[in-house]
Amino acid sequence: MLDPHLVVLGGGLSNFSELYPLLNERVPRSMLSAAKAPRIEPARYGDAGGVRGAAFLNLTD
């Protein structure tokens, strides 16, 4: 069973700020159980997370 409290969307989806209020409104209505719906938020570093990770990996190797 999966019961996340937070769902983080990264990559290109993190650029669509109008997506998050819509998802946070609709996901609870679409859930099959009475469990609390997870919050849905953009990734902290937006669509640059992969680039930052690659740079960090290069520094640590």
Domain ranges of the chain: 6-60
Q: Does the pLDDT at position 53 exceed 80?
A: yes
pTM for the full predicted model: 0.70
Confidence class of residue 1 from pLDDT cuts 50, 70 and 90? low
Confidence class of residue 8 from pLDDT cuts 50, 70 and 90? very high
Q: Exposure of 24 by Cβ count < 10 A (0-12 exposed, 13-18 middle, 19+ buried)?
A: middle
Q: Which tens digit of pLDDT belongs to each residue from 21-45?
A: 999 999 988 888 777 889 999 999 8
20-to-3, 12, 45 alpha-carbon distances in Å: 19, 13, 16
pLDDT of residue 6: 92
The H or E element spanning position 56 is helix 49-60
